[in-house]
Structure 1
Amino acid sequence: MRILLDATAVPADRGGVGRYVDELVPELAAAGIDLTIVVQHRDVEHYRRLAPDASVVAAPAWTARRPARLLWEQTGLPMLVRRIKPDVVHSPHYTMPLLTRTPVVVTLHDATFFTTPELHLRSKAVFFRTAIRVAARRAARLIVPSRATRDEVVRLVGARPEKFTVAYHGVDHGLFHPTTVAEQSRVRESLGLAEASYVAFLGTLEPRKNVPALIRGWVAACTDRVDPPALLLAGGRGWDDKVDAAIEAVPAHLTVRRTGFLPLEDLPAFLGGAVVVAYPSLGEGFGLPVLEAMACHVPVLTTRELSLPEVGGEAVAYCGTDAASIGRELAGLLDDPARRGMLAEAAAERAVGFTWAAAARLHAETYEAAAAH
């Protein structure tokens, strides 16, 4: 079966959809899928390394900007489809080409553009709500990373449940695994923390991640401690304009730091070196940082919003989304090393069940169903 995978939506920083596509492509190739991958010029060599047997095609250089890419998706991509003649087109990031008779599979990562639109930039929420409605109506099949996402799209858009495949994300167990004290010390020193302990957060600082409430909860949990852990916020700066005010209100004796993007190879030691990884999100399509922290053998504190219980199960600790609940549950974990150890063990065991190979098998089955459609 020949699949044309449109990877032109992958951003330069490889976040979000980039992590999904980068992990999926080698497993699809290993599963025997005949892949043609359309990419941005900057990514040609990257995908040739990821999948040496795949055909990698560069989109025009002018598609690097999002409006131009979307225009090309509706004009140039259908022309490419006619030339390559794939059995199925996979559009891995919400939008899809409309002017093609070849079956299209679309990945929908998230339904929070409907459930909590106030947590997104208004233009982004409007755009992705429209894209999801179009895909639900026009795509041959839909792939989602959780049952929660499927159920929300079915409920809010009226999509047919039988069109969906729930394919949980995997975790790269070769990268995300328990790290050594030396590895953790190297990353800690690179962040200027010496031997200090810390609570870790990983993700874009956008309103949906609930970082201001995390900061206030961490302050409540740590302000009276003799040796309080720092709070490290790793990831893109995002657009949550309340983060700065929350940081400014932190007492002087506590340490909170935005690290920005960390190299991918540093993430396991960053997560594994934390006393707790806190991810009090207001809603996720999946919640990959939770799974990656679990694979690093570290206790995780998260919420029960949308898909997060599907990822964490009984192997993580849960809190509410308000600062008081976050602070209370975080303090309980900091005071209970035995519970942290039990959660870390359970998390590592549960994470083993999430693999990109399993996700690729479900994608392959979905391609077959789309082609039959």
Structure 2
Amino acid sequence: MSNTGNKNLKIAIDARMVNRTGIGTCIQHWLKDVAYTIALGDPKNLEPYGNIPKHIPFISSIYGYEEQLKFPYRALYREKPDVLHIPHCNVPLFYRGKMIVTIHDLTHLVYPEFLPMKIVHWYFKFIFWFVCKRANHIMVVSESTKRDLLCFYKVDPSKITVIPLAAGNEFVQKSKDEVDYLYDKFNIPRDKKIILYVGNLLPHKNLNGLLKGFAQMNGKENCRLVLIGKAFDGRTKATIEGDLGIENLVIHAGMVSQEDLVCFYNLADLFVLPSLYEGFGLPVLEALACKTPVACSNTSSLPEVGGNVAKYFDPSDPQSIAHTLENSINDKGKYDHEIEGWVRQFNWKASADKIQKIAADVAAIK
């Protein structure tokens, strides 16, 4: 889609994270659908986005002092943007122009015990405080994240707008013939039910909780749990499959292409997300867009994303996980109409339009 909107409005975005998972997916869609005129980031990564007139080089690690020192303050001031969009909490501390900020989650504050060092907790505690004080407007991806922000900081609720994410257009239902190749490519038995997990080993993702629940599932011998993500490139010793006696029932697919990911969602009989906490939980929506049933945690934002079409469990209770897996594994094809209606409510273009309007409103502030 070509950029539309107020042609006189100059909106800049820090797009350094464009090729990352999670936030990068959001930035990719926003770069296509929001009328940005300036993008900051690695020129090589910004090449596909020729719809944005001006690219300002900004190559730096994410978080910490380096990005503050290397932020292209002078180059950006020369362009005189009306608004700068920071797509995460890592705002430039010395920027004095108008700024809108997207906050995806407050995992670092909700679960500080999962952080490697105390100083990381204090860094994020400060940076979120600074966002609340400095941003002209804050956009969050769920009502859950908004509640968390209001819980930790004294901020005017009218300064916060919830703008949900969406599944990309590539996530669609496919025929069995289109996804059949995955069985041979990843050595998956054809006569087993497939339970799919997409994610990593971060503690709040609760993979061990899922493995414990799967180990207690009745009929698990007729299933295979497929794990997708960078953490599962090869057999990792970071999981407890051997201790639980399910090593032969779990398949580590590792990192896969976007095409393979869409096909995996379609191949699966059930997608499962056992997280203790999610700012949004985009894989839930991606699976539903492929008409694959979802079982996920009843925590944080996930009930917002799964609505009445997902089934829920207590992520801290392996028995609850096992019970929900048992009651969901044969649901494929039963609720396609309801799932389709639910997914239709989430739309990247609608989200982009909201960002565009907020930018215009902020730019109009005297």
Matched, 1:133 2:129: yes
1:303–1:319 Cα contact (<8 Å) kept: yes
Deviation at 1:127, TM superposition (A): 2.7
TM-score, normalised to structure 2, is 0.89
Partner SS, residue 46 of structure 1: coil
> What amino acid does structure 2 have at the position aligned with 1:276?
L
Aligned to 1:274: 268
1:95–1:106 Cα contact (<8 Å) kept: no
Measure, in 2, the Cα distance between the counterparts of 1:115 and 1:361. 30
Q: List runs of 5+ in structure 2 lacking aligned partners.
A: 1-8
Measure, in 2, the Cα distance between the counterparts of 1:315 and 1:77. 45
Deviation at 1:95, TM superposition (A): 1.4
2:38–2:52 Cα contact (<8 Å) kept: no
CA-based RMSD of the aligned residues comes to: 2.2
TM-score, normalised to structure 1, is 0.88
1:296–1:348 Cα contact (<8 Å) kept: no
* Aligned partner of 1:362 among 343, 354, 361: 354
Aligned to 2:14: 6
Matched, 1:328 2:328: no
Deviation at 1:34, TM superposition (A): 4.3
* Aligned partner of 2:206 among 188, 207, 210: 210
Matched, 1:154 2:150: yes
Measure, in 1, the Cα distance between the counterparts of 2:274 and 2:364. 41
Q: List runs of 5+ in structure 1 lacking aligned partners.
A: none
> What amino acid does structure 2 have at the position aligned with 1:259?
A
**Number of residue equivalences:** 351
Deviation at 1:170, TM superposition (A): 1.4
**Aligned pairs for 1:230-249 within 5 A:** 230-237=224-231, 244-249=238-243
Deviation at 1:64, TM superposition (A): 3.9
2:85–2:99 Cα contact (<8 Å) kept: yes
Measure, in 2, the Cα distance between the counterparts of 1:341 and 1:54. 45
Deviation at 1:243, TM superposition (A): 7.3
Q: Which moved more, 1:260-269 or 1:356-365?
A: 260-269
2:56–2:75 Cα contact (<8 Å) kept: no
Partner SS, residue 24 of structure 1: helix
Change in CA separation of 1:8 and 1:34 when aligned onto 2, cut-off 3 Å: closer
Change in CA separation of 1:152 and 1:99 when aligned onto 2, cut-off 3 Å: same
Change in CA separation of 1:345 and 1:204 when aligned onto 2, cut-off 3 Å: farther
* Aligned partner of 1:353 among 335, 339, 345: 345
Aligned to 1:104: 99
Aligned to 1:163: 159
Measure, in 1, the Cα distance between the counterparts of 2:246 and 2:308. 36
Measure, in 2, the Cα distance between the counterparts of 1:26 and 1:193. 36
Deviation at 1:55, TM superposition (A): 2.4
1:232-289 CA-to-partner distances (Å, cap 9, x unmatched) read 1111319xxx973422224268421222211112111101111110101101110000
* Aligned partner of 1:145 among 141, 148, 154: 141
1:44-67 CA-to-partner distances (Å, cap 9, x unmatched) read 32333xxx34322322xxx34336
Aligned to 1:18: 24
Partner SS, residue 42 of structure 1: helix
Aligned to 1:258: 252
> What amino acid does structure 2 have at the position aligned with 1:155?
C
Between Structure 1 and Structure 2, which shows a larger proportion of helix residues? 1
